[in-house]
Amino acid sequence: MKTDDFDYHLPEELIAQTPVEPRDHSRLMVLDRASGNLEHRRFYDLPDYLRPGDVLVFNDSRVIPARLYATRASGGSAELLLLRRLEPGRWHALVKPGRRMRQGDTFEASRDGRRITGEVVEVHEDGSRTVELSGEEHLDALGAVPLPPYIHEPLADPERYQTVYARTRGSVAAPTAGLHFTPQLLDKLRSQGVETVFVTLHVGLGTFRPVTVDDAESHKMHPEYWELSHDAAEAIGKAKAEGRRVISIGTTAVRLMEQAAAVSVDRKVSPGSGWADIFIYPGYRFQLVDALVTNFHLPKSTLLMLTSALTGRDRLLSAYQEAASQGYRFYSFGDAMLIL
């Protein structure tokens, strides 16, 4: 399986720079896998495709202000993306400029009397760093929400890059399929007998790290932390046992559920936590996920490969071509797909 097999052309003007308001007024492409039919709707039409007993699984991880702009002690600026808190005051991070942030180098970020100081304590083979921070309690004040690099417009309200149900801090990117939901839409779904279940996977480097190898199957996923509660595992397991649909809201919830299934006894979903490094691509046999709500993903990305595993590569790329011709908005602030 070649990485180039998952390439496609997208006009730059179709990369969404700002979110649609209200959230649920984004467009929704509905792909029926059995027939191959496509429908063009709005996200608020999602209830039309769901039925009582369906279980929607949401990732409730909340984005932290993980981008830190600092000044190096040796002179010049530095930018850090704090990927994961290893322990109090110690983080796994990406840094710019990498060549000038060597082991032992120090930096500082400050504003309005608040200050964070740091030191690079380890440089890893993949270019990432381990850094020690003093004053990390000021991260909310000094850090910024790390929008993807293809978004060039400033975000007026940082909460717009959070889902309305985000509650467990730890992600460096939003689980973007969930950005389309409003409290009113969630209430409507529940009122028609749809069950909502919340799980946690902290979005990190594993989700957005580009595939740089020609042979896609040799790509190594960076692990991301997940938690599946007893109640959530029980609800998902009961739905599967009763033949009801488990519908993942986003690819991160897919990875969590399939990772949990992989480490559970007899492939039954069990509560637990750990590090998800599962890489899903065409040929994968899904254990728990029956359907998916997702955004339109970057070319040659692991997210596109995961979605292709559910639909088939040719069918998905054909749907993407149709979306582009219809002027759909792509990526994090873009429109959505429902894959049934």
DSSP calls for 102-126: -TT-EEEEEETTEEEEEEEEEE-TT
Residue pair 63/171 in contact (Cβ under 8 Å)? The answer is: yes
CA–CA dist 185, 170 (Å, integer): 25
- Do residues 55 and 236 make contact, with C-beta atoms less than 8 angstroms apart? yes
pLDDT score at 98: 79
d(CA 207, CA 54): 26
Q: What angle do CA 259, 264, 286 make, to 5 degrees?
A: 45
**Residue 40 bridge partners (DSSP):** 29
Q: Is 35 exposed, middle or buried (0-12, 13-18, 19+ CB in 10 A)?
A: exposed
CA atoms 93, 99, 100, 103: torsion sign: positive
Strands 224-228 and 272-276: antiparallel
Structure tokens at 172: 């460096």
pLDDT for the residue numbered 267: 62
Spatial separation of the C-alpha atoms in residues 46 and 202, rounded to whole Å: 26
**Strands 291-295 and 336-339, how do they pair?**
antiparallel
User: What token pair was written down for 94?
Assistant: 């990406």
Whole-angstrom distance, CA of residue 189 vs CA of residue 186:
5
Question: Which H, E and C letters describe 155-166, residue by residue?
Answer: CCCHHHHCCCCC
Helix H or strand E segment including 263 = helix 251-263
**What was the pLDDT predicted at 100?**
82
State how beta strands 61-63 and 168-171 pair.
parallel
Q: Which letter does DSSP use for residue 227 in this model?
A: E
Considering just the CA atoms, what is the radius of gyration of the chain in Å? 20
- What pLDDT, on the 0 to 100 scale, is given for residue 97? 87
Q: From first to last of its 340 residues, what are the pLDDT tens digits of the chain?
A: 899 999 999 999 999 999 999 999 999 999 999 999 999 999 999 999 999 999 999 999 999 999 999 999 988 999 999 999 999 999 999 998 878 889 999 999 999 999 999 999 999 988 899 999 999 999 999 999 999 989 998 888 999 999 999 999 999 999 999 999 999 999 999 999 999 999 999 998 778 788 889 999 999 888 899 999 999 999 999 999 999 999 999 999 999 999 999 988 766 789 999 999 999 999 999 999 999 999 999 999 999 999 999 999 999 999 999 999 999 999 999 999 999 9
Hunting for tokens 């007993």 — which residue is that?
Answer: 53
- Structural domains for the chain: 3-63+156-339 (3.40.1780.10), 67-142 (2.40.10.240)
∠ CA 132-135-136, nearest 5°, is 70
Q: Do the Cβ atoms of 329 and 39 come closer than 8 Å?
A: no
- Give me the pLDDT at residue 199, please: 98
Q: Is the dihedral of CA 327, 330, 335, 337 positive or negative?
A: positive
